[in-house]
Structure formats: structure tokens, C-alpha cells
Structure 1
Amino acid sequence: MSTANAARQKSGIVLFLFVTFATAWASWGVAILLGGPAMSPPTVIPYLLGAFGPMFGAIVIRLRRAVRRQPAPAHSVRLPLIGLLWTPVLLAVAAATVVGGALIAQQLGGPPVSLNSALTLVQMSGGPLTFVAVMLVVGPLSEEFGWRGTLHPRLRGRMGRLLTGLLLGVIWSIWHLPLFFITGTVQNAFGMFTLSGLTYLLSVIPMALLAGYGYDRAGVLGAVAIHFGGNATMSLVGVTELLPQALIVGVQAVVALLLLAVHRERKEVTTPEPAHRHPVPA
């Protein structure tokens, strides 16, 4: 990477993070001051607005790139047709890591995995369509165009896939911190200064690795599938205790590392310069 490209990538990363954190944390700060439950008026407005922080960051970066007429980062993944085939597979993988961890916890004396609790949650959400719509918009769609579609390829221009996933996971985890202070959120229910709260913050890292793998396979759509599969299944399974929570983190970490280990790097195709048989006159 040339010095100019490296400087451009770095400035893009800094600008994206500034916009993402500023818009999300400012919105969630208002939600905290209002003090009501996350999904109740008027708190719901700044709460949901904050979830779109990464989307705002992505929009700013793309507008700047368009104005400057700059090319997309080298590691950007456009949606390939095969990505449409990968999407249900990635969705299933994410869901399986959650169910697998919860079932292992059940065998070790943890809470049982019940289909009845999942059906009750869907009914309380207003039905399957409403549940899917909410779980898809709040998180996967509001975040992935930013985290994976914008930040991921820029970090990949500076480091490998594993380090990119780990660093993005730490950043993503820190970004969630204000949610611990908003009543009615999963984070608030766990509590920041508890083992469950710490486990939640750690759980974001293997999810970042999985979502990064999904992005490499199927672009933003693949990352959305991973994010949605993980979040929706966690809600349906009703993970509230430390044992299943920790085991799900472990299963996701193992699966993510295995997938990254077997997934080959995409090779960029370059056109070699033609060799001249005779000297070209000046």
C-alpha cells in the first residue's frame, strides 16, 4: 500500500469511528437521561437512533469518497451471486452456535432449552413478522453496513483477517457500553459489573470474527445473516444465565477460528504490464 493510500485509509477509519461513536453515544445519552424503558416512548426514539450510529458513519465515508472520487478499498466485498446461496448457510451457522452452546449448558445442569419460551416471545413481539422485522433492523441492518461494509475492509488493508476481527470486536464491544445504563436492554439486565456483563462484552469478539467471515463470503448480506442469526436465536433461546452465555461464547469462538483457518484468502487479479521487445524512444 502506498503512503497516500495508507494515509487515506487511516483518515477514513478515524472519521468513521468518530461519527459512529458520536451519534450513537449522544443518542443513548439522551435515552439514559430520559430514564424510561428502551422500547417505550419517548426513550425509544433516541434508543433506536443510536443503533444507527454505524450506518451514519458509513454514509459519511461514502459521501466523502464520492466527492473525492476515490475507489473502494481493496478488500471491499461486493455481493457476488454466490453470496445469495451462502446467506442461508451463514444464518444457520450462527443459529447453530447459539443452540449448540445452550444445549451443552443444559447437559451440564444449566437451564433447559424450551420451544415454548421461544413461541411465547414471538407472540409477545406481535407475531413472527414483527419479531423478524425488529431483530433484523435493530442490529444487523442498522450496524453491518458500517462495521463490516465500511470499517472491516479498511482495517483489512492494514492487517490480517484475524487481527481485523479481534480489533473490530473490541471496538464493537466498547461501542455497546452505554446500553448497560438504559433500562430494558439486555445489557442492563446483565449489569456492567457482573460476570454476565463481562461475558456479554467478550461475546462481541467471536461474533465480530463470524460476521467478518460472513462478509468475506457474501458481502454485507453475509454479515447481516450472521448478526441476525446470532441475535434472534439468543432471544428465542432466552439466554439469561452465565453458564449458557459462557458456553455460547466458547462455541462461537471455536467455530469462528475454524472457519477462518480453512477459508482461503481471496487473490486479487492484477494485469501484468506488457514487456517491450524493443526500447521505447523517449
Structure 2
Amino acid sequence: MNDNAQASRGSGLATFFAVTFITTWGCWLVAIALGQPPTTFPTVIPFLLGGFGPVFGAIAVRLRRGPVPVHTVKFRLNARLLWALPLLVLAAATVAGGAVLAQALGGPVLSLDAGTALIATAGGAAPFFVSMLVGGPLAEEPGWRGTAYPRLLERMGRFRVGLVLGAAWAVWHLPLFFMTGTVQAGFGLLSWSGLLFSLSVFPMAMLTGYAYELGGVPSAVAVHFGVNATAAVLNAYSPMTQTVVLATQLLVAVAAISLRRNASVTVAGDSGVRLQHG
């Protein structure tokens, strides 16, 4: 076993990725086999459980009781939570701004009709936004950012971490393209929208990583939620809109990470400063 493999195993990364993919893909393959939309019973059960694969991966790593990475941002009810709201607004603005720019460039005209219908189908604004919060941000961020991100950051820079987690995140989503009734299945895997969706997770991985450094898992959840909810409400899924939103988020992510390239991170609850590499 080489040094990198031993380091990955020792840090818990191997455990995290193995448990995450096995639980998610196992559950989602059951949902695919059932052949019904994920909102119907009994498909909803393996669909929802599969979405929590990263959380199961995070739990498995915690149960191993290995060393806590120095870049871990601990959760505390302190000023770090104040980052969540402005980061949520920033995340939503990257989607809304990209959609407006896409329209100006000749893309689809913005309309809230599809979003309003989607909210009505969910039973109203409250259940819609709760489902958007649980089905993605809360189910994933404790794993991708709260567990994998600080461990990867111990051995590579922020841009490389974004690329690695982006690639893993894109592959993790693949079963959704074969599940009846999902947005991804509506795109089609071998389509421009499908390709753009897979590419979009790379700037998202960078943005949520940036948010995690500033405010921990709650801020990463806020960014993830802001992007998902805004895209759903604005129905920002045409290839033109996806392209412009992706470019907008990539520019924002690169700028944000570049500004923090030589910055240090104070880990919540610690008295010292943990130096980060770019």
C-alpha cells in the first residue's frame, strides 16, 4: 500500500467515500428498480435514505474515532452562524443573476409560473422549502464539507479539493439520471443539460467549501440551499441558463478562493489559528 493510500485510510477518507457511495447507490438502485417517481410510496423510502449517504459516511468516520483534522470547523453558536444568511443571499444571487444575464443574451424569458406550480404541488411554500433544505443540503453537507473537505485540505490546496469533491459529487449523482421523475432524468444523461448539471457541481463544491471555511456546515448548507431553491423557483434549467449560471458561479468561486489563498482559518472553539494552504 502506498503512502497516499495509507494516509487516506488513516484519515477516514476511504471509509467516508466507501460508505457514502455504497449506501447511496444501493438505495437509489432499489428506487430505480421500483420504477416509480421518488415522491411515491414505497420509492420515496430508498430515495430519501440514499440522499443521506454522505451523512452515513460522516457517521462511519466519527465512529472510527480517528484524529480530527486541524482544518475542521467546529459547530458553535457564535459569530460563525452570522455568515449563513449573507452566503445564502450570495448563492441565490449567482443563480438569479446568471438567469437574468442569460435572458439578456437571448435565453429563456424568466418566469415564476413553473416555480409557483412546483410550490403548489409540494403543498405550499413551507413544505416546499423544507423539502429543498432537507433533500440535499442537510442530507449532504455534513459529509461532503463537514467530513471530507477538511481531510482533503490537509493534503492539497483549495482548488484541488474543489475539483476532487466536484468529481466525486458528480459521479455520486449519476443514478438520479436513471430514476423516473427526477430532474436529472428529465435532463437525460447524454444531453447538454445533463452535462451542464454534472459540470455545475464543480463551482458548487468550491462555493460550499469556501462557505464551510467561513461558517462551518451551517454556511455550506445555506449556500447549497440557496442555489437549489433559486434554480427550482426560477426553473433555471435550460442549457443556455445553466451555462451562464455555471460561468457566473465559477467566476465567483475562483474569486472567493483566490481572496482566501493566503488566509488563515481560526477553528471555532480553538484559541489558536490554523494555517491553510491555497
TM-score, normalised via structure 2 length: 0.90
Label 1:108 to 1:138 Cα distance change in 2 as closer, same or farther (>3 A).
same
Aligned-partner Cα distance in 1 for 2:75–2:26: 33
Question: Paired residue for 1:159, among 156, 159, 164?
Answer: 156
What pairs up with 1:56-67 in 2 under 5 angstroms? 56-65=56-65
Number of corresponding residues: 264
Question: Paired residue for 2:192, among 195, 204, 219?
Answer: 195
Aligned-partner Cα distance in 2 for 1:59–1:195: 36
Contact 2:23 2:53 in 1 (8 A): yes
What pairs up with 1:1-282 in 2 under 5 angstroms? 7=7, 10=10, 12-65=12-65, 70-79=66-75, 81-263=78-260, 264-266=262-264, 269=272
Instruction: In structure 1, give the amino acid aligned to 2:141.
Output: E
- 1:207-229 per-position Cα deviation (integer Å, ceiling 9, x unaligned): 00000000000000010000000
- 1:222-251 per-position Cα deviation (integer Å, ceiling 9, x unaligned): 100000000000100102310001111000
Contact 2:9 2:15 in 1 (8 A): no
Identity across the alignment (%) = 50
The unaligned stretches of length 5 or more in structure 2 are 267-271, 274-278
Aligned-partner Cα distance in 2 for 1:10–1:187: 35
Label 1:211 to 1:177 Cα distance change in 2 as closer, same or farther (>3 A).
same
Contact 2:177 2:184 in 1 (8 A): yes
Larger of the two Rg values belongs to structure? 1
Deviates more, 1:164-173 or 1:113-122: 113-122
Aligned-partner Cα distance in 2 for 1:227–1:267: 21
Query: What CA RMSD, in Å, does the superposition of the two structures yield over aligned residues?
Result: 1.9
Deviation at 1:11, TM superposition (A): 5.0
Contact 1:9 1:154 in 2 (8 A): no
Instruction: In structure 2, give the amino acid aligned to 1:43.
Output: T
Contact 2:71 2:265 in 1 (8 A): no
* Structure 2 SS opposite 1:72: coil
**Which stretches of structure 1, 4 residues or more, deviate above 6 A after TM superposition?**
none
Aligned-partner Cα distance in 2 for 1:145–1:184: 26
The unaligned stretches of length 5 or more in structure 1 are 271-282
- 1:167-223 per-position Cα deviation (integer Å, ceiling 9, x unaligned): 111111110000000011111000001111111100011000000000000000010
Label 1:116 to 1:153 Cα distance change in 2 as closer, same or farther (>3 A).
same
* Structure 1 SS opposite 2:42: coil
Instruction: In structure 2, give the amino acid aligned to 1:265.
Output: A
Contact 2:36 2:43 in 1 (8 A): yes
Aligned-partner Cα distance in 2 for 1:11–1:75: 13
* Structure 2 SS opposite 1:59: helix
* Structure 1 SS opposite 2:218: helix
Aligned-partner Cα distance in 1 for 2:48–2:129: 16
Instruction: In structure 2, give the amino acid aligned to 1:76.
Output: T
Deviates more, 1:78-87 or 1:100-109: 78-87
Contact 2:213 2:265 in 1 (8 A): no
Label 1:177 to 1:78 Cα distance change in 2 as closer, same or farther (>3 A).
same
Contact 2:11 2:67 in 1 (8 A): no
